Amino acid sequence: MTEALTFENIDPARRRMAMIGLAFGMLMSCLDGTIVSTCGAVIVQDLGGMELYAWMLTGYMLSETAMIPIAGKLSDRFGRKPLFLIGLFLFIAGSVVAGLSTNMGMMIVCRAVQGLGGGILVPVAMASVADFYSPEERGKVQGLLGAIFGIGSGLGPVVGGLICTYVSWHWVFYINIPFAVVCLLLTLKEFPMVAEHEEKRIDYTGMAVLTMLVLDILLYFQWIGDEMEFADPRSLVMIAIALVLAAVFVFIERRAEDPVLSPKLVRNRVILLSAVYLFLLGLCLFGMLMYVALYITMIYDYDALGCGLTMLPMVFGAMTTSVVSGILYNRTGYRFWLVLGAILITSALFLMSTMDGSGDLVPMYVYLFIFGLGMGSSLSTSMIAVQSVSSKKDVGMTTSAVSLTRNIGSTVGAALFALLIGGAMDSKFAETVFSPLADLFGLRGTGLLSLRYMDLPDFPGVGETVIRIFGESTCWAFLIASMIFIAAIVIALFIRDAKEGDPDGTVAG
DSSP 222-241: HHBTTTB-TTSHHHHHHHHH
Which tens digits make up the pLDDT trace of 74-113? Answer: 888 888 899 999 999 999 999 999 999 999 899 999 999 9
DSSP-derived secondary structure for 379-391 = HHHHHHHHHHTS-
Which tens digits make up the pLDDT trace of 145-176? Answer: 877 877 777 777 778 878 887 888 899 899 89
Question: 303: left (phi > 0), else alpha (psi -120 to 50), else beta?
Answer: beta
List the end-to-end C-alpha distance of the chain, in Å, as a whole number: 37
Per-residue pLDDT band at 129 (split at 50, 70, 90): confident
pTM of the model: 0.82
Q: Which sequence spans correspond to the domains of the chain?
A: 1-199, 204-255, 264-509
Per-residue pLDDT band at 507 (split at 50, 70, 90): very low
Beta-carbon contacts of residue 40 (< 8 Å; ≥ 6 apart): 53, 56, 57
CB 62 within 8 A of CB 215: yes
- For the chain, the residue count is 509
Pick from 370, 463, 437, 412: which is nearest to 217 by CA?
A: 412
- d(C-alpha 208, C-alpha 256), whole Å: 13
Pick from 294, 227, 295, 286: which is nearest to 411 by CA?
A: 286
Pick from 109, 14, 4: which is nearest to 62 by CA?
A: 109
- d(C-alpha 314, C-alpha 457), whole Å: 40
- d(C-alpha 497, C-alpha 485), whole Å: 21
Pick from 61, 69, 164, 151: which is nearest to 115 by CA?
A: 61
What CATH number was assigned to the domain covering residues 1-199?
A: 1.20.1250.20
Decide if 1-199 and 264-509 have a common fold: yes
Which tens digits make up the pLDDT trace of 351-396? Answer: 999 987 666 788 999 999 999 999 889 887 888 888 788 777 777 7
Which tens digits make up the pLDDT trace of 453-501? Answer: 788 888 888 989 999 999 999 999 999 999 999 999 999 999 887 544 4
What CATH number was assigned to the domain covering residues 264-509?
A: 1.20.1250.20
Average pLDDT of span 430-440: 90
Sequence letter at residue 248: V
Pick from 184, 165, 163, 185: which is nearest to 174 by CA?
A: 163
CA dihedral 446, 450, 456, 460 (to 10 degrees): 50
Residue 505 to residues 69, 133, 268, 271, 391: CA-CA distances in angstroms? 21, 20, 6, 8, 11
Residue 228, beta-bridge partner list:
224
